[in-house]
Chain A
């Protein structure tokens, strides 16, 4: 099956054309302000180089930081009616209480708390306040709020009130975009609520982006559909992304790590992605990035996304060398390196210049690097190696020794060995992220509290059935589904039969009709 993988980064839009597991062509194009014209250029270029008929392309997989950046830059966010169901519980911690002011302002200050919610065992906490919903519906009409985010206490256990509230609002405002928290996240009220609000505020942007990407594909003469990669390295359909854009957060590093795994043929490794300003270091376990176990901060707020556990360190190809090589970064020339770096005729000594001086890289005007004393170049590389070594050490996930995969534009900064681990320099490492997008599969996940009264296995089977249904809904071929995780944990301090169950399945994307 012919696929195109695209990765839209902050600076570059990369694309690859793949036939099954074979890389036919690749390209790098500048990311454009509107995102889609850069995608168009990249796809066009990879198709011309690949020399295949456009009609033969079966699917396009796109990874994008578009939605992450919208939150970080507080741009393109719509106002949201924030509704929490659960009073009297949680009255002392209102929604968005710990948000930065500018982000709170960007989503408006339409905060409502009503009675509702459930207990941990699924009992009703308090009956849903339908009159209160009526007042909120009126507010939404008056203020023309385009979206609503509904979070009910323990909705991962019982989402009945969230659904009822959604139906109620939609009946009165059919054009309103409503997000319910049980679709977004797990137990942990504030984190799930935060993610739900962000998701609601991104829906208009998601609509525009989905339509624009579709147009871009048509402009390129492609008739196939496309999917977007989400943070766990799997795909969601264009329709899915229009409902759940937050799930794209963190997909950049995930794609890069998955691509590195694919290029090396390894499923367990440490991946170091050396960029211009920073390097991302993470662990690949069974072909997927290890996920962060703690709360993840996004744009200054706490959320509970399944994000890859990636450490970003302030060392990259454009990092500025000071203190005779004892200090490299975190200040960096970034993309200005091609004007201001020594080997590009500029005045500033960067990590790249030190590597050229030491003879480990061959970039630009070699002679221009000779102004660096050799011992300074050597010290700078040692400093860089030491920084990366520490990050690699933290990323190691087991006592089994695994290789280090070097990817990214500054991969030459890595030595042959790090902490006794072999470093593998990968061909096509510059487009590992686009390859990661091209090879993505489809998953389904369930993570909530189940009652084990009917027996543990029955509950786990029920959870697995739900996870499979979700994967199929997301576009997976039912027969290809494999179980990735299936485990349950009892709840500390609560005897009885409630256990938290987590099941994840993965399968191949259904070939388009």
Chain B
């Protein structure tokens, strides 16, 4: 299989790009970046594989970390949770994985598959199941288009491994995974049932890593050459600047396990005299400008620091910040009636 080897510069770009595609959520990429970098410095290669180069019958395993951010920054991973989950799944189903695929390119879960793939000696498919970040596991194009994600296997830092044999729906799977994750101390890594190369080609969002790294490089490049990072991003992704201004009101609370809230922004420059309102639920969900709905999930609402273009997650929002709000179109796979039933405004907003 033809692959592309990643460099440390790629990982630095991915850190920023994955933050942008997190659309406000997806967790912190710093620790994941440090882990990935350490692995690279130990001389192990990380190889990216274009989805079209996957054999039709390849067995591709989706992998993701699940857990609470606060646990993730304190009880940091042991490091081999993912590969243990993968091996347990292989043994349970009696198959051999050919490649790893990312479930969520937005945030920390963009890097977890890279780390596990290196440990398992497998390539990572340049694709993912969200093209962004979403709060729950069943919100992947894999689940939406009929992949049954059980049997699955989950492991924690201690070495405990749980196999989920069968869930009657994807939502049931999510519910059981969450309960087990709490029992395992609030942070675990999950390997989902394998998909075929053919399924990935049809239903995975393609070129996710390429896209995230290009976004990151655009921001880094704009910084180096004192150009506007916001322009650099919109130029690249067919997105547009939907609002720019200063945060004048901020409400956040945690209910039902989610961080929910609302932000108000007073316009500046081209947007002077206008007011924007954003609702959030782990990610940015909807943007209204002067009372008119401007954009809503599954399209990506990206909030950037107006100065240096770094992505601002919902937990980093602060009163008085100067921000630019960008809209990036979501992939067509997320805009079908079937997808909107799971990740559309009726479900999330």
Report which A residues bind B (CB closer than 8 A).
Answer: 86-93, 97-98, 117, 119-120, 123, 125-126, 153-154, 187-190, 293-294, 302, 393-399, 489-496, 500
Majority secondary structure, A binding face: loop
- Residues in B whose Cβ lies below 8 Å from that of A396: 320
With known contacts A395-B320, A492-B259, A493-B67, A153–B75 Cβ distance under 8 A: yes
28 contacts between A and B (CB under 8 A): A86-B75, A88-B158, A88-B159, A90-B157, A92-B76, A92-B79, A93-B76, A119-B185, A119-B186, A120-B71, A123-B185, A154-B74, A187-B73, A188-B73, A189-B75, A189-B76, A190-B76, A294-B316, A394-B320, A396-B320, A397-B320, A492-B254, A492-B258, A493-B67, A494-B70, A494-B257, A495-B182, A500-B70
Residues on B with C-beta less than 8 A from A302 are 30
Going nearest first, the 7 A-B pairs with the smallest beta carbon separation are A92-B79, A90-B76, A493-B68, A89-B157, A88-B78, A119-B185, A490-B254
| Residue among A92, A187, A294, A495 making CB contact with B70, cutoff 8 Å | A187
1/0 contact string of B31-42 vs chain A (CB within 8 Å): 100110010000
Complex interface: chain B residues within 8 A of A90 (CB): 75-78, 157
Closest approach, in angstroms, between the C-beta of B73 and any C-beta of chain A? 5
**How many pairs, one residue from A and one from B, have CB atoms within 8 Å of each other in the complex?**
115
A496 contacts B38, CB within 8 Å? Answer: no
Tell me whether A492 and B78 are in contact (CB under 8 A).
no
Within 8 A of A (CB), among B230-268: 246, 248-249, 254, 257-259
CA distance A398 to B79 in the complex (A): 43
Q: Does B321 contact A (CB under 8 A)?
A: yes
Given A394-B320, A493-B178, A495-B182, decide whether A98 and B34 contact each other with a Cβ distance below 8 A.
yes
Binding site for A on B (CB under 8 A): 30-31, 34-35, 38, 67-71, 73-80, 157-159, 178, 181-182, 185-186, 246, 248-249, 254, 257-259, 282, 316, 318-322
* Given A491-B71, A492-B259, 13 more pairs with CB closer than 8 A: A90-B78, A90-B157, A92-B77, A93-B35, A119-B75, A119-B185, A154-B75, A187-B74, A188-B73, A190-B73, A494-B70, A494-B182, A495-B182
Given the contacts A93-B35, A293-B318, A397-B319, A492 and B185 also touching, CB distance less than 8 Å? no
A438 CB to closest chain B CB, in angstroms?
30
Closest to A86 in B: B75
Given contacts A86-B75, A120-B70, A120-B71, A493 and B257 within 8 Å (CB-CB): yes
A74–chain B nearest beta-carbon distance, Å: 22
Question: What residues of B have a CB within 8 angstroms of the CB of A153 in the complex?
Answer: 74-75
Q: Would you give the shortest CB distance from B36 to chain A, in whole angstroms?
A: 10
Contacts of B246 in A (CB 8 A): 393
In the bound complex, residues from chain A placing their C-beta under 8 Å from that of B282 are 492
* Complex Cα gap A398–B34 (Å): 36
Complex Cα gap A193–B188 (Å): 23
> Are B178's CB and A92's CB within 8 A?
no
Alpha-carbon distance A187/B72, docked complex (angstroms) = 10
Interchain CB contact under 8 A, B322 and A117: no
Q: Which residues of B contact A500 (CB under 8 A)?
A: 70
Q: Could you say which residues of chain A place their CB within 8 Å of the CB of B186?
A: 119-120, 491, 493-494
CB-based contact B248/A399 at 8 Å: yes
Taken together as a complex, chains A and B put the C-alpha atoms of A88 and B158 apart, in Å, by 6
Known: A93-B35, A119-B186. A188 touches B77 (CB 8 A): no
Residues of chain B contacted by A394 (CB below 8 angstroms): 320-322
Which residues of chain A come closer than 8 Å to B68, judged between CB atoms? 120, 491-494
Closest residue of A by beta carbon distance from B282: A492
Question: In the complex, A491→B34 CA distance in Å?
Answer: 24
Q: Which residue of A lies closest to B135 (CB)?
A: A493
A125: contacting residue among B34, B80, B185, B319, CB under 8 A: B185
Residues of A within 8 Å of B73, CB to CB, are: 187-190
Most buried by A among B69, B75, B318: B75
Q: Determine how close the nearest CB of chain B comes to the CB of A452; give it in whole angstroms.
A: 14
Q: Is the beta-carbon distance between A492 and B158 smaller than 8 angstroms?
A: no
Q: Which residues of A contact B249 (CB under 8 A)?
A: 399
Of A89, A97, A119, A492, the residue contacting B34 (CB under 8 A) is: A97
Please report the C-alpha to C-alpha distance between residue A86 and residue B257 in the assembled complex, in whole angstroms.
Answer: 27
User: Which B residues are in CB contact (< 8 Å) with A89?
Assistant: 75-78, 157
**What CA separation (Å) do A153 and B70 show in the bound complex?**
12
A294 CB, min distance to chain B CBs, angstroms: 7
Q: How far is the CA of A216 from the CA of B115 in the complex (A)?
A: 56
CB distance from B254 to the nearest CB of A (A): 5
Q: Is the CB of A93 within 8 A of B320?
A: no
The smallest C-beta distance from A269 to any residue of chain B, in angstroms, reads 14
- Chain A contacts for B319, CB-based, 8 A: 397-398
Question: B182 to A91, Cβ gap below 8 A?
Answer: no
Q: Which residues of B contact A496 (CB under 8 A)?
A: 182
- Shortest B247–chain A CB gap in Å is 10
Is A491 within 8 A of B70, CB to CB? yes
Minimum CB distance partner of A496 in chain B: B182
Which residue on chain B has the smallest CB distance to residue A500? B70
B323 to chain A, nearest CB (A): 11
Q: What residues of chain B lie closer than 8 Å to A491, measured between beta carbons? A: 68, 70-71, 186, 254
Q: Which residues of A contact B75 (CB under 8 A)?
A: 86, 89-90, 117, 119-120, 125, 153-154, 189
Q: For the complex, what is the distance from the CA of A154 to the CA of B76, rounded to whole Å?
A: 10
Of A126, A396, A493, chain B has the most CB atoms within 10 Å of the CB of A493
* Closest beta carbon of chain B to A358's beta carbon, Å: 28
Closest Cβ–Cβ distance, residue B312 to chain A (whole Å): 10
A86 to B246, CA, bound (A): 42
Among residues of B, the one whose C-beta sits closest to the C-beta of A126 is: B158
B residues within 8 A CB of A188? 73-74
A189 to chain B, nearest CB (A): 5
- In angstroms, Cα B34 to Cα A489, docked, is 28
List the B side residues contacting A91 at CB < 8 Å. 78-79
Closest to B257 in A: A493
- Inter-chain CA distance A189–B34, complex, in Å, is 14
A86 to B69, CA, bound (A): 18
Contact status B71-A494, CB under 8 Å: yes
B184's nearest neighbour on chain A, judged by CB, is A119
Q: Which chain A residues border B316 with CB–CB below 8 Å?
A: 293-294
Q: How far is the CA of A86 from the CA of B249 in the complex (A)?
A: 40
Q: Which A residues are CB-close (under 8 A) to B322?
A: 393-394
A117 to B158, CA, bound (A): 12
State in angstroms the CA–CA spacing of A274 and B115 once bound together. Answer: 47
Q: How far is the CA of A4 from the CA of B212 in the complex (A)?
A: 56
CB-based contact B254/A489 at 8 Å:
yes
A493 vs chain B, min Cβ distance (A):
4
Closest chain-B Cβ to A261's Cβ sits at a distance in Å of 18
Chain B hits for A395, CB < 8 A: 320
A188 to B73 Cα, complex, angstroms: 5
- Which listed residue (B31, B74, B158) contacts A120, Cβ 8 A? B74
